[in-house]
């Protein structure tokens, strides 16, 4: 397969944008041409990629004609304004924001889970939320053979999901606290250094926060099953990279734990780390900068019939964002849709 197309990247100077470039390079994708875009304040800055130096263009001043694939990692407002324009100019847009995930006309895709949804695209494809991606890579193989009735998930999400400013404030607050100084305020409503809080994004009228709502709606859309009951609690924790999730499933039918373990160990995108007697289970430090979804502590939930527990860890900037977008592009090429 040939992965040589005219590629654009909007949000190239951010944490996810830089990770897109890293993943493209690691996957051996050499663009026929490459253009990098960011906000006005980053215009003219230089980024090195595959031995060349590229000048960042201001997205609000740019003409996108001639591009074949454009990755967006610049946030919801930018995506809402520019994704339709770029798609109209002829490119396939792979958007990492929340702007179009709920749109029934826009496929929401995890390539290991619902690649057939790509056939319905009309120039615009959405990358799901990072916490949704890793959970679905882990549970979709089970759902295919033993439908899931209910999901209870608690997430432990790193600050890199918020962006570079959050990474910097965690470092500053940690240093200040260790030095017995007053920690500086940052991008969160509470100190995150040596702390945690039980919400990601804003609270909604129904008591959920937006991240929890995303997990519910996106899971149902991707699995094409509106009957799954889903109860998420999303928590921000003071680590730099990788999201962790405690996932509890209620399945429709009885199961053998050994068969579930074998199924998951053979499923794409999954790596089992499940030997608790020897303290083998995934942790964020072990899973950082990797594309797999790591699963451990696989066990029965004996409090209900057909209950299953698992611990799921994945790098939110890679598997939960950039890598998923690149995998979408690779699938489009593999299936000759580009």
Active site (annotated) includes residue 243: yes
Total residues belonging to the chain: 338
- Given 5, 83, 130, 199, which residue is catalytic? 130
DSSP 219-267: HHHHHT-TT-EEEEEEEE-S-SS-EEEEEEEEESS---HHHHHHHHHTS
| Cα(154)–Cα(232) distance, integer angstroms | 6
Sort 100 into a burial class: Cβ within 10 Å, 0-12 / 13-18 / 19+. Answer: buried
Residues 6+ apart with CB under 8 A from 86: 8, 10, 64, 67, 70, 72, 93
Q: Pairing between strand 229-236 and 69-72? A: unpaired
Sort 115 into a burial class: Cβ within 10 Å, 0-12 / 13-18 / 19+. Answer: middle
CB 85 within 8 A of CB 78: no
- Given 5, 199, 243, 287, which residue is catalytic? 243
Active site (annotated) includes residue 199: no
Which amino acids are annotated catalytic? 130, 243
């Amino acid at each position: 397969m040939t992965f040589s197309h005219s590629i654009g990247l909007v949000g190239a100077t951010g944490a996810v944008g830089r990770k897109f470039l890293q993943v493209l390079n690691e996957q051996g994708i050499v663009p026929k041409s490459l253009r990098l875009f960011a906000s006005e304040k980053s215009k003219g800055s230089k980024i090195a990629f595959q031995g060349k130096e590229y000048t960042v263009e201001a997205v609000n001043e740019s003409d996108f004609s001639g591009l074949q694939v454009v990755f967006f990692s610049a946030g919801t407002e930018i995506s809402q304004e520019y994704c339709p324009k770029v798609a109209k100019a002829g490119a396939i847009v792979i958007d990492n924001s929340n702007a179009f995930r709920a749109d029934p006309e826009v496929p929401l895709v995890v390539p290991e889970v619902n690649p057939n949804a790509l056939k319905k695209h009309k120039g615009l494809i959405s990358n799901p939320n990072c916490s949704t991606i890793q959970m679905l890579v882990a549970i979709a193989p089970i759902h295919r053979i033993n439908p899931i009735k209910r999901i209870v998930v608690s997430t432990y999400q790193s600050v890199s999901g918020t962006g570079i400013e959050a990474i910097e404030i965690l470092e500053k607050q940690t240093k200040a606290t260790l030095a017995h100084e007053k920690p500086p305020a940052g991008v969160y409503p509470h100190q995150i250094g040596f702390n945690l809080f039980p919400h990601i994004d804003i609270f909604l009228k129904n008591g959920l926060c937006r991240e929890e709502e995303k997990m519910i709606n996106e899971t149902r859309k991707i699995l094409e099953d509106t009957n799954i009951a889903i109860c998420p609690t999303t928590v921000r924790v003071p680590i730099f990279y990788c999201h962790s999730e405690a996932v509890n499933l209620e399945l429709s039918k009885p199961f053998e734990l050994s068969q579930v373990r074998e199924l998951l160990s053979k499923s794409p995108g999954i790596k089992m780390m499940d030997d608790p007697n020897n303290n083998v289970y995934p942790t964020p430090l072990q899973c950082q900068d990797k594309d797999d979804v790591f699963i451990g502590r696989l066990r029965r939930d004996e409090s209900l019939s057909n209950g299953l527990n698992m611990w799921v860890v994945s790098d939110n900037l890679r598997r939960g964002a950039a890598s998923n977008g690149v995998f979408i592009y690779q699938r489009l090429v593999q299936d000759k849709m580009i």
